[in-house]
Amino acid sequence: MTDFGQQIEEIEKEIRETPYHKGTEHHIGKLRAKLAKLKDRLLETGGKKGGGGGGGYAVKKEGDATVVLIGPPSSGKSTLINKITNAESKVAPYAFTTVSVIPGMLRYKDAYIQILDVPGLLEGAKEGKGRGKEVLSVARASDLLLIMVDVQRKNSLAKLTAELEGAGIRVNGTIPDVLIDKKAAGGLIIHSNVKQDISKETIKEVAMEFGAKNAEITIKEKISLERLIDAFSQSRVYLPALFIVNKIDESPNSDFDKDILGISAETGKGISELKDEIWNKLGLIRVYLVRPDEEPSYKNPVIAKKGEMIKDVAIKIGTEFAEGKKLAKIWGPFARFPGQEVSLSTPVQEGIQIRFL
């Protein structure tokens, strides 16, 4: 059986010992692509040698979105989920209280948002420490991460983010703007309107390491080697996240960066702002259905997401309902006039009222 961990160590050692310059760039690129593939395999097998699966928690996704609460032991995650949802997560003043996933449901602005409290995430989680593999598998399937520490460990947010990044989770990241069109023959053809710092030879080495020997590769951004490898990897997920520091009542004079939300789950300070940030980060909006025999109103809300179209709302109602629907009437501030007739490809916006025709 192949020991992925040993292979990873050997490749990391070779990368460290190889001086980086133009002459070695393509070789280092190949090594880093091989390293990324091995780490992906390690994630898939749960850190075991060779084959075999790493078990994850079986969590049924419910509601309009799923949020996972990530943090070290004793950071107050259980207190927070009990405060904002209907969950009953055990709370105690010692570490490792939560040993399985505790689901709770937050009702906010007509949406049902599932929030999952998972065991505390430790350094080394991506290698399996402290049930880290199971926690990370749940995180990967979420719509939003709440990355939380307490005020005494506020500098640990970077370490938690590094653990997630090491597990292929790109926190607040964007998908690389790279199109990979595999072909049956013809070799590798590279297109880019942007001047790249990495050579075409390096790009080809990375592509071939990932099995793309014949392909047309179009790169639409100035890309780093890491982003190029991400474009080829099948295991990367790109998740929005909120950074939270809990227990601010214990250190009221602490300062945080503008992208960090300070709260006290115990006293409720900052909880209202947190709910609002969750809503905004998920990109949720409310649209209102207007039945054929009714006047426009705000009685029948449906939760949609920014970027969706009216046809997506129809599908949420039911696939049979959506069949045959081609037009709708809309009301609200985004309609040119009350009852404007539009196609189902019209984007939805907060507060729009829709009657399907």
pLDDT of 92 strictly over 90: no
Q: What is the mean pLDDT of residues 100-109?
A: 88
What tokens does 32 get?
């880093």
Q: Which of 46-60, 160-174, 180-194 has the lowest mean pLDDT?
A: 46-60
What is the reported pTM?
A: 0.84
First-residue to last-residue Cα distance in the chain: 61
Contact partners, residue 323, CB within 8 Å, separation at least 6: none
Residue 36 in contact with residue 30, Cβ under 8 Å?
Answer: no
**If pLDDT is split at 50, 70 and 90, which confidence band does 53 have?**
very low
| pLDDT above 90: residue 4 | no
pLDDT in tens, 55-73: 456 677 889 999 999 998 8
Q: Which is nearest to 60 in space by CA: 96, 112, 101, 18?
A: 101
Query: For all residues of the chain together, what is the average pLDDT?
Result: 86
Backbone angles phi, psi at 240, to 5 degrees: -70, 155
For the segment 252-277, the average pLDDT, to the nearest whole number, is 90
Q: Check residue 129 and give its pLDDT.
A: 47
Which pLDDT score, from 0 to 100, does residue 1 have?
Answer: 38
DSSP string, 202-258: HHHHHHHHTT-SSEEEEE-S---HHHHHHHH-SS-EEE-EEEEEE-GGGSTT----T
Greater confidence (342 vs 10) lies with 342
